[in-house]
Structure 1
Amino acid sequence: MVGSYANGAGAGGGKNGAAERKLDELRRRLGKAEGDPLRIAGVGAGAWGSVFCALLQDAYGRDHRDKAQVRVWRRPGRAVDRATAEHLFEVINAREAVLRRLIRRCAYLKYVEARLGDRTLYADEILRDGFCLNMIDTPLCPLKVVTNLQEAVWDADIVINGLPSTETREVFGEIGRYWKERINPPIIISLAKGIEASLDPMPRIITPTQMIANATGVPLENILYLGGPNIASEIYNKEYANARICGSDKWRKPLSKFLRQPHFIVWDNSDLITHEVMGGLKNIYAIGAGKFPFALNHCLILFTACLVLS
């Protein structure tokens, strides 16, 4: 197993200068021509997927629009219920900066109407204003939201898989059809946690990165996994966190440096399978540990057994 820490802060030039240097370095590695922006597409807009794309938008897409573009795909048509709309209105009015931003964008009135029950809001609509339906209390930056999957991914250089593992195979199977004519495969960073069991041709587990490779034909060296554990809202609120990006030597070090933020430390590691499996099992371990609240020895035995079996 090989692991290291990426220090992407840079020396001198300030925050924006360091970000631009990291962006330029990754663009060079990808062979991007001058005037051709780095295109980052998030697939899935749950809490972690939305926050991850918002971090990249804040770091690169906002101040370097000519060099980086960030967009997020989510399915259209999911309505925001009345109680959530009322709570969202309270969140907006409690944050002066958010309120001013919506007024400037001529977007505030629709939240007033939704609060009164005169209008229905939709999840993709509010995400454009920076509100993830799974995380209403943590406003994000405004995001470019696309509801057509082909439009979102067909020319993307980097794709962020923010889907649940249960949906990863199906959605990336559709994406694979759009990429059949591509000459250069994109880089895919999977945030999905979970595993599938298969008995054919022999008993084995299938991780999300393997699902993506099988569904799209993208070589596994271009598919990486990023895991914490982390809490999405804490990361966007700039509480200290760290994560590991795991995968091939070719991309994990450049990406760890690119993704690193002052409050979000990204390590790189070569052991993709172990990190994916443990990411999928951590919640099961937590449930098991909860069965022994008054028996520490039993809890330790459980975790030791799980780690040995892993």
Structure 2
Amino acid sequence: MVGTTEATGQNVHANGLIQNSNGSLEEKLDELRHLMGKAEGDPLRIVGVGAGAWGSVFTALLQDSYGHLRDKVLIRIWRRPGRAVDRATAEHLFEVINSREDVLRRLIRRCAYLKYVEARLGDRTLYADEILKDGFCLNMIDTPLCPLKVVANLQEAVWDADIVINGLPSTETRQVFEEIRRYWQERITVPVIISLAKGVEAELGPQPRILTPTQMINRATGIPIENILYLGGPNIASEIYNKEYANARICGAEKWRKPLAKFLRQPHFIVWDNGDLVTHEVMGGLKNVYAIGAGMVAALTNESATSKSVYFAHCTSEMIFITHLLAEEPEKLAGPLLADTYVTLLKGRNAWYGQQLAKGALSLEMGDSIKGKGMIQGVSAVKAFYELLSQFSLSVLHPEENKHVAPVELCPILRMLYKILITREFPLQAILEALRDETMYDPKDRIEIAQTHVFYRPSLLGQQP
């Protein structure tokens, strides 16, 4: 176990906090087991589905905390087999291993070191599911995790799972959970699902609305929405695993969110709970849209603090406008949304993607699944929000032209990102032209319009007026 001193039975974390691993952890596990109706001798089965950076870290955090209680809990993770690790990544992985004495010793003790030597020399091919067993996530090579129990067969992984962690991108969630449904046909108990996915789709008929990963899971599996939760927050996966202080919210039905918040909470990772499932989930997808543009502006202006602040003012005003369309009490979302946006702009993969596009290191033709980073969720989110807010049935009164327009007409940054990333009508530099347009409204005007509360459309989140 990472950071464990066996003599004291305590986890000593890098930030100096100490957590007792015998008393409180076991008590929290017992409480959750009792709530889920687990009998003595029947372990709680927790399965991560999808092994991107956040999904792998989340599963590894649980393994670090509870993995030693093997008679009470079994923790495993599923990822697709067959993804080869290229030679350059294998060489870098070898450097990471040799720079960490604890990792090096662990691999030697497990008789696993030689295969990394051979891969470094080009004498054998490593696979993503293979290295994950040793604690290496392909999307986060620089941050070794604890060894994980990896299952490459989806049916074997999930058929008897009590808790499923959805670590898949939103673009893959529906397909995988439709397959999972087949394996749950004969189930008597209903599993609990915690979704980590931050992404959305637009559903334009019969009424325009946003479709979130928890809703996709509900439709695909038939699992009641009361048993599906969303967990998100302003955090970077590698930093959380390295015990940087972080917080998150688990959102959903009270029966599950409160005990799960307690179960997941650690000294360095504080988990709060909230009943507003879909709105928090949608906001997690919204900030990815504007993070891509922020990365573009940073690269195109040589990291100009002034230009970045101009962009930030405009993009946050658009996000505030959109939240007022989506949420009845949008003010409650301001803090979480801005915090999540801030961390994504600082170090998130969507801002990084925008930077790399603007620098020419990546091209749009390469798609939105990038080696070493995984899925860039913001690209599909740009398409979803644009398509949704382009519907004239959602029209709002234009503040100056005294006519009704689709909401997207009041979101020039979103419009330009769509024309750059999706239809590719404009080059990346057009994001600066949008910012420098002298006809663009003062951001405060858009916020004032939003705060009149006349734009709220409950149907956008599938809620009744």
1:121–1:309 Cα change, 3 Å: same
Q: Which has the larger radius of gyration?
A: 2
In structure 2, the residue matched to 1:119 is 124
1:181–1:294 Cα change, 3 Å: same
- 1:172 matched to 2:177? The reply is yes
In structure 2, the residue matched to 1:308 is 321
Displacement, 1:289? Answer: 4.6
Secondary structure, aligned partner of 2:316:
helix
In structure 2, the residue matched to 1:6 is none
Displacement, 1:66? Answer: 0.6
In structure 2, the residue matched to 1:53 is 59
Displacement, 1:202? Answer: 1.5
- 1:109 matched to 2:122? The reply is no
Question: CA RMSD of the aligned region, Å?
Answer: 1.6
Displacement, 1:141? Answer: 0.4
Rounded Cα–Cα distance in structure 2 between residues aligned with 1:15 and 1:72: 22
Rounded Cα–Cα distance in structure 1 between residues aligned with 2:131 and 2:196: 23
Displacement, 1:203? Answer: 1.1
Displacement, 1:239? Answer: 0.4
- 1:199 matched to 2:212? The reply is no
Q: Is the 8 A contact 2:19 2:267 kept in 1?
A: no
In structure 2, the residue matched to 1:214 is 219
Displacement, 1:285? Answer: 2.4
Which sits farther off after the overlay, 227-236 or 12-21? 12-21
- 1:255 matched to 2:260? The reply is yes
1:146-295 matched pairs, under 5 angstroms: 146-289=151-294, 291=297, 294=306
Rounded Cα–Cα distance in structure 2 between residues aligned with 1:13 and 1:101: 23
Displacement, 1:32? Answer: 0.3
Secondary structure, aligned partner of 1:182:
coil
1:95–1:13 Cα change, 3 Å: closer
Structure 1 spans left out of the alignment, 5+ residues: 1-11
- 1:40 matched to 2:52? The reply is no
Rounded Cα–Cα distance in structure 1 between residues aligned with 2:137 and 2:36: 31
Which sits farther off after the overlay, 252-261 or 176-185? 176-185
Give CA deviations for 1:203-229 in whole Å, capped at 9, x if unaligned.
Answer: 111000000000000000000000012
In structure 1, the residue matched to 2:23 is 17
Rounded Cα–Cα distance in structure 1 between residues aligned with 2:72 and 2:233: 28
In structure 1, the residue matched to 2:34 is 28
Rounded Cα–Cα distance in structure 1 between residues aligned with 2:311 and 2:235: 26
Rounded Cα–Cα distance in structure 2 between residues aligned with 1:229 and 1:193: 12
1:14–1:303 Cα change, 3 Å: same
- 1:80 matched to 2:85? The reply is yes
Q: Is the 8 A contact 1:229 1:279 kept in 2?
A: no
In structure 2, the residue matched to 1:9 is none
The count of corresponding residues between Structure 1 and Structure 2 is 298
1:126–1:224 Cα change, 3 Å: same
Displacement, 1:258? Answer: 0.3
Kindly provide the amino acid, as one letter, of the partner of residue 294 in structure 1: T
1:32–1:86 Cα change, 3 Å: same
In structure 1, the residue matched to 2:340 is none
% identical aligned pairs: 78
Q: Which has the higher contact order (CA 8 A, sep 6+)?
A: 1
In structure 2, the residue matched to 1:100 is 105
- Stretches of 4+ moved more than 6 A in 1? none
1:118–1:222 Cα change, 3 Å: same
Q: Is the 8 A contact 1:38 1:67 kept in 2?
A: yes
Q: Is the 8 A contact 2:48 2:166 kept in 1?
A: yes
Rounded Cα–Cα distance in structure 1 between residues aligned with 2:266 and 2:25: 9
Q: Is the 8 A contact 1:41 1:71 kept in 2?
A: yes
Rounded Cα–Cα distance in structure 2 between residues aligned with 1:117 and 1:304: 51
Kindly provide the amino acid, as one letter, of the partner of residue 264 in structure 1: F
TM norm structure 1: 0.93
1:142–1:298 Cα change, 3 Å: closer
Displacement, 1:298? Answer: 5.9
Of 83, 86, 94 in structure 2, the residue corresponding to residue 89 of structure 1 is 94
Rounded Cα–Cα distance in structure 2 between residues aligned with 1:17 and 1:298: 49
Of 115, 131, 136 in structure 1, the residue corresponding to residue 136 of structure 2 is 131
Secondary structure, aligned partner of 1:185:
coil
Kindly provide the amino acid, as one letter, of the partner of residue 292 in structure 2: I
Secondary structure, aligned partner of 1:294:
helix
TM norm structure 2: 0.62
Displacement, 1:301? Answer: 4.1
Of 306, 309, 312 in structure 2, the residue corresponding to residue 299 of structure 1 is 312
